Amino acid sequence: MTVAELFVLIWDFVFRPKCTSEAKLHNKTVIITGGNGGIGKETALDLAARGAKVIIGCRDTEKGKKAVEDIRRQVPSSKVIVKRLDLASFSSIRQFAAEILKSEPRIHILINNAGIMACPESKTVDGFEMQMGVNHLGHFLLTNLLLDRIKESAPARVVNVSSAAYFAGNISISDINMERGYSPSGAYSNSKLANILFTRELARRLKGTGVTTYCLHPGSIDTELSKHIKDTFGRIAGFFYYLISKLIFKSPKQGAQTTIYCAVDEKIANESGLYYIGCRSVEPVAKARDDAFAKKFWEFSEYLIESVLHSS
């Protein structure tokens, strides 16, 4: 981790900056994955209050419907709907994207927010390590399926929620499923490093299109993302994590601020491919700025997805 990044992390933890943009989003369409709880729901609430039509993609649609009802209670004029999306299934992702492309003539903001953290070793429907599969490959596929529509809607933005845990990541293309030795925290870090590399390569490919890309660390937040801690690391670790999260972690509303900033702030409209903490850009460590590897990993991600398509 760079000194500058460490400084911004501490600054973000202490001062918990807010997105101050008053941008309105009338006649804009926003898609948020995992918007049924935590920072995703708070992001959906904020953007709906700005006038956007918000589509929440989530696996648990009953919970999603409750989130929509809660948002409508707080913002009666809001336009929020929920659609089923299981990021652990390429088939579900393709179905979700097909429905979106059929119903939405424009997509102005895509927020790849959903994620899982430190889960016990498991595989997606298509046979990939769960955290890499959901946190990276699922969003990689979804973004590419929607990309032409997003480009047609320019100016538009793609926002990827990463994590400062990326700095511990060490992606091995020859062992993408971590079959040589699974580490719950290591798998999470790898997937978050993948988010940053994806954001950078996407920015390169979209240069000149009017579509800009952003990735961010939201901070340490008290959300359901940590629900696997007890199962993975034991009850004692789970108890202390729970205690610490209640005492010092950000609330979901506080944790959503940098996502909102990346989605709406006018001052960064021409920035692309950068990494943000506490509503400001910061340079990540060298491995997250390796553009040659970012390009290679993009091509490898395409290969993995195509291999599933050809085998089915």
Residues 75-100 have pLDDT tens digits of 999 999 999 999 999 999 999 999 99
Per-residue pLDDT band at 248 (split at 50, 70, 90) = low
What is the percent of the chain with per-residue pLDDT over 70, rounded to a whole number? 91
Residue pair 85/57 in contact (Cβ under 8 Å)? The answer is yes
9 or 219, higher pLDDT = 219
> How much is the pLDDT for 139?
99
Residues 151-186 have pLDDT tens digits of 999 999 999 999 999 999 999 999 999 999 999 999
Q: Which amino acid is at 69?
A: E
Given the residues 166, 182, 188, 261, select the one marked as catalytic.
Answer: 188
Per-residue pLDDT band at 239 (split at 50, 70, 90) = low
> How much is the pLDDT for 2?
73
Cα dihedral sign for 288, 293, 298, 302?
negative
| pLDDT, average across residues 216-225 | 76
Alpha helices in the chain (DSSP H): 3-15, 38-49, 61-74, 90-103, 130-132, 139-152, 184-205, 229-233, 235-248, 252-255, 257-264, 291-311
Active-site annotation holds for 188: yes
* Position 224 pLDDT exceeds 70: no
pTM (2 d.p.): 0.92
Mean pLDDT over each residue of the chain, to the nearest integer: 92
Residue ranges covered by each domain of the chain:
3-219+252-307
Per-residue pLDDT band at 226 (split at 50, 70, 90) = very low
Residues 14-38 have pLDDT tens digits of 778 999 999 999 999 999 999 999 9
| pLDDT, average across residues 271-287 | 97
What is the percent of the chain with per-residue pLDDT over 90, rounded to a whole number? 82
Q: Which of 219, 199, 182 is nearest to 288 (CA)?
A: 199
CATH, domain 3-219+252-307, list 3.40.50.920, 3.40.50.720, 3.40.50.2000, 2.70.98.90: 3.40.50.720
Residue pair 17/98 in contact (Cβ under 8 Å)? The answer is no
HSE, CB side, 13 Å, CA atoms: give it for residue 6.
3
Per-residue pLDDT band at 230 (split at 50, 70, 90) = low
Q: SS3 for 158?
A: strand
